[in-house]
């Protein structure tokens, strides 16, 4: 029969056990991240879909930033005043995800450890890819590339794809605490 001292420790041990998964997934304070505007790559632009495509691109940026922060994967930092510089760079570069130096500059401008560039490639109205590239600012090293294919060019398919990408990211980080760092 366990001693009375053990009985007094059981509630404390139980609370410690419950806290361990949260502590293991928590990121260091320095794991800051800036989310850049997403690019849209489509060879056959349909002007009738332009407003929907722009709205969906903005939604992907929002979902990515919110999802990474909510899952405790990074502390997402707003671009703030650096957005003006991002707009200048976007006028000089067709696609931000192809300009590593631009990504690094933006990360430095907002003081983050990491920066993420995203893009959606529209292969057809049926097949699209949502992609992200995560770069460490100090070393200019790509630490992660993720992509998910979606079927269907509608809000539901795009959001489903981003939710999958975020869930997969979180699961891989839980299994490997260095994933994406």
Per residue in 143-152, pLDDT (tens digit) is: 999 999 999 9
Q: What is the pTM of this model?
A: 0.82
Binning pLDDT at 50, 70 and 90, where does residue 8 land? low
Give the per-residue pLDDT at 44: 85
Task: Report which DSSP code applies to 30.
Answer: T
Please state the domain extents for the chain. 32-175
Residue 132 has pLDDT above 90, yes or no: yes
Give the per-residue pLDDT at 148: 98
Nearest of 83, 146, 143, 80 to residue 113 by alpha carbon: 143
- More confident position, 25 or 140: 140
**Which residues lie below 8 Å from residue 109, measured CB to CB, with a gap of 6+?**
79, 82, 85
- More confident position, 44 or 138: 138
Residue 175 has pLDDT above 80, yes or no: yes
Beta strands (DSSP E) in 59-174 are 75-76, 114-122, 127-136, 141-151
Q: Which CATH superfamily is domain 32-175 in?
A: TolB, N-terminal domain (3.40.50.10070)
* Distance of alpha carbon 42 from alpha carbon 121, whole angstroms: 6
User: pLDDT tens-digit profile of 19-76?
Assistant: 444 444 444 444 999 999 999 999 888 999 999 999 999 999 999 999 999 999 999 9
Give the per-residue pLDDT at 123: 94
């Amino acid at each position: 029969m366990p001693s009375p001292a053990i009985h007094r420790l059981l509630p404390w041990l139980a609370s410690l056990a419950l806290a361990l998964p949260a502590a293991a997934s928590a990121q260091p304070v320095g794991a800051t991240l800036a989310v850049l505007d997403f690019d849209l790559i489509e060879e056959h632009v349909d002007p009738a879909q332009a407003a929907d495509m722009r709205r969906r691109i903005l939604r992907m940026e929002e979902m990515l930033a919110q999802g990474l922060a909510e899952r405790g994967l990074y502390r997402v930092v707003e671009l703030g005043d650096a957005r003006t510089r991002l707009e200048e760079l976007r006028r000089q570069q067709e696609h931000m995800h192809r300009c590593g130096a631009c990504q690094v500059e933006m990360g430095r401008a907002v003081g983050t450890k990491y920066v993420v560039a995203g893009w959606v490639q529209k292969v057809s109205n049926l097949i699209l890819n949502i992609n992200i590239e995560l770069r460490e600012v100090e070393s200019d090293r790509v630490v992660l590339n993720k992509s998910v294919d979606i079927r269907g060019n509608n809000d539901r398919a795009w959001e489903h794809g981003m939710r999958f990408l975020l869930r997969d990211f979180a699961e891989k980080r839980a299994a490997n605490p260095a994933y994406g760092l």
